[in-house]
Chains A and B, each alone.
Chain A
Amino acid sequence: MTVIDTTPVVPVQTRSERPWSFDPEDFERPTGREVNWKLSDLRRLAPLLVDEETEAGERSLDYDTGDAEARGLLVESTGHDAAPRGEIFQPEDLASAIAWKRCANALHVRLPEGQAVEAPVVVRIAGRGADVHGNAHIVIEAMPGSQGTVVLSHEGSAAYAQNVEILVRPGARLEVVSVQDWEDDAVHAAAHQAVVEQGGFLRHIVASFGGGVVRVNPSVRLAGEHAEGELFGLSFADAGQHLESQVYLHHEGVSTKGDVLYKGALQGEGARSVWIGDVLIGSGATGTDSYEKNQNLVLTDGTRADSIPNLEIETGDIAGAGHASATGRFDDEQLFYLQSRGIEEEEARRLVVIGFLMEIVQKVGVPEVEERLAAAIEEELRRGASLAPASRAGA
């Protein structure tokens, strides 16, 4: 792929020292100069920065947990002081602090100790309109030795601030997939914060297709020895969409392993993606093996992709650490190869784009979720079929 821009930026402060508070009063209203807001669409996110009552009586969005309750995977919703809510979660921005404060009862999904939960737990979250402000706190807890997949699936329209607290207990293997399939006028700011304890494994996947502004920021602490984290993302930004992920992976324990891969496609005037990837290898995290990469594929003119990888290393005794970022147009050699096998140019482009994003889909490992994501990618391509392809690199 043609490398157009790679922008490694030295962070102004160690990522772990970012201020946090449960009280919205402690946060200044962001101006757009802050490190965690400077590439965001603050104008459209403004409704999420209003500290107002939203979840009085009933919730502002519809939550459908399917058969999770019948399967014994739901815990009675938890208030502000009910553990494990707040065990590790620390709001780091105003929207997140408001969401913490205004959500009285958190949804709590728990995979029971030692159990492999076969079918994925799907939580459907449907908005009721772009003017309806909602705030949520969701706890996903994988008890020791448990195994399973939890899908948060977003649709409809809303102005939605969301905290997701993910607890991976020792030896548990958890996969969390957050799918953003909103209407065009939805705005969604989510802070996912996870801890992975000793020998635990978390695969965290962010898939953003629909929505006006979607900002899903996952932070993962690999706290225990031999904890593993895979942080994957795929986004498909159309005209006027702003899709953003600020990813933070903190290696704290000994011999932890991290793999971050975010891939984005952009098509149409004003399509925008933002990826900031912070990896911090702490002073005690000897034997760390870590890699992060962001790749963007530009399908038409008029798009913008920001990609900022940051890597901080506080110990020299690691197995490996690396980062990469590439944003480019179609690889002409891939198109040539496919066309030389008789495949028409348009079909060849389609295959390359699907393939580019399928690399993430293939990592899900749960067929029904993979099929759903593949269908969403196909739908995005259909929508963009009439758009002129990006001018060739160098042309």
Chain B
Amino acid sequence: MSVLDIKDLQVSIETEQGKKEILRGVDLTISSDEIHAVMGPNGSGKSTLAYTIAGHPRYTVDGGSITLDGEDVLGMSVDERARAGLFLAMQYPVEIPGVTVSNFLRTAKTAVSGEAPRVREWIGDVRTAMESLRMDPSFGERNVNEGFSGGEKKRHEILQMELLRPRFAVLDETDSGLDVDALRIVSEGVNRIKGETLLGVLLITHYTRILRYIQPDHVHVFVNGRVAEQGGPELAERLEEEGYDRYLKAGV
């Protein structure tokens, strides 16, 4: 069992108006068999948390720590974090012109596992994963994210998660922009991977919709860069009915 431990995390970004604090002391502990949902209104710092865990250079950590089984994650480069078993499914994955999906997947797999995958086995794994995400085989010959629809981009993120086998996955608004069918396919993917391997999930979302398909063990409500409330799945149900107004009015 692995543990991803976030303690008193404080994060800021540089803007044209100067430094802007976004996370103001976040505590979160996730075991590699748990699903945690982080919910909150726009601008509450949910995505900042996701990108800080992954190590995006735009975000400056002013205090606190992130450790993975005691190892200092903040001291690792972006690629070291991925090789340590962290994965971020992005909300807006970028296009990489001229790099095909199959080349990209093989390069990433080789990097994460430290050796090139055996060709025959790998081709089979990719085909199976693509089939279960209802992706056409021709997908592999397309350039990474180039001309992908919103749903294709998200499926491609989950495909990578399935093939790279991380210990912890952060899903940053994976549900946004998906229709019901795509949402079901993507959620099934997450649940399937979770069933096959030890995987801790940090599910970041604005809406409760995806939680009908992916059942969280814990729910954290983010407001203004802090955890304003936490609880079990019942908290999500309450948010479904009441929204975030309660927290915003309270000015937490």
Contact = CB atoms under 8 A, between A and B. Distances in A.
Interface of A: 331-334, 336-345, 347-348, 351-352, 354-359, 361-362
15 contacts: A332-B57, A336-B54, A337-B90, A339-B78, A340-B81, A340-B82, A341-B82, A341-B112, A342-B108, A343-B111, A347-B107, A348-B79, A351-B99, A355-B97, A356-B98
A60 to B, nearest CB: 37
Contacts of A342: 79, 82-83, 108, 111-112, 164
A169 B81 CA distance: 58
A341 B164 contact: yes
A356 B98 CA distance: 6
B205 interface: no
A359 B79 contact: no
A359 B97 contact: yes
Interface string B188-210: 00000000000000000000000
A345 B55 CA distance: 13
A331 B94 contact: yes
B141 to A, nearest CB: 10
Contacts of B54: 336, 340
B67 to A, nearest CB: 19
Majority secondary structure of chain A interface residues (helix, strand, loop or mixed): helix
Contacts of A337: 90, 93-94, 96
Contacts of A340: 54-55, 78-79, 81-82, 87-88, 90
Nearest to A332: B57
Given A347-B111, A355-B99, A358-B99, A341 B160 contact: yes
A359 B79 CA distance: 25
Given A342-B112, A354-B98, 4 more contacts: A338-B108, A340-B79, A342-B164, A358-B98
A338 B82 CA distance: 10
Contacts of A334: 94-96
Q: Which 3 A-B pairs have the closest CB atoms?
A: A355-B98, A358-B98, A342-B82
A336 B104 CA distance: 14
A352 B82 contact: no
B143 interface: yes
How extensive is the interface on chain B, given as a class?
20 to 34
**Most B CB atoms within 10 A — which of A339, A340, A358?**
A340
Contacts of A336: 54, 56-57, 78
Contacts, number: 81
A347 B79 CA distance: 11
**Most A CB atoms within 10 A — which of B57, B99, B112?**
B99
Contacts of B78: 336, 339-340
A160 B21 CA distance: 61
Contact of A339 (B79, B104, B143): B79
A129 to B, nearest CB: 36
Contacts of B90: 337, 340
A337 B81 CA distance: 13
Nearest to B51: A336
Nearest to A344: B79
Contacts of B149: none
B96 A345 contact: no
B82 A345 contact: no
A348 B78 CA distance: 11
**Most A CB atoms within 10 A — which of B78, B90, B95, B104?**
B78
B215 interface: no
Interface in B25-69: 54-57
Nearest to B89: A340
B132 interface: no
B77 interface: yes
B98 A345 contact: no
A336 B90 CA distance: 11
Nearest to B82: A342
Nearest to A352: B96
Nearest to A357: B98
Contact of B143 (A333, A344, A355): A355
A341 B111 CA distance: 8
Contact of B82 (A333, A339, A355, A359): A339
**Most A CB atoms within 10 A — which of B55, B81, B94, B98?**
B98
Nearest to A343: B111
Contacts of A362: 98
A359 B54 CA distance: 29
A346 B78 CA distance: 13
A336 B56 CA distance: 7
B96 A354 contact: no
Contacts of B95: 334
Contacts of B93: 337
Interface in B99-151: 99, 104, 107-108, 111-112, 143
A344 B111 contact: yes
**Most B CB atoms within 10 A — which of A334, A341, A343, A352?**
A341
A354 B94 contact: no
A153 B78 CA distance: 42
A345 B79 contact: yes
A343 B107 contact: yes
Contacts of A332: 57
Contacts of A355: 96-99, 143
A8 to B, nearest CB: 24
Contacts of B97: 355-356, 358-359
A380 to B, nearest CB: 15
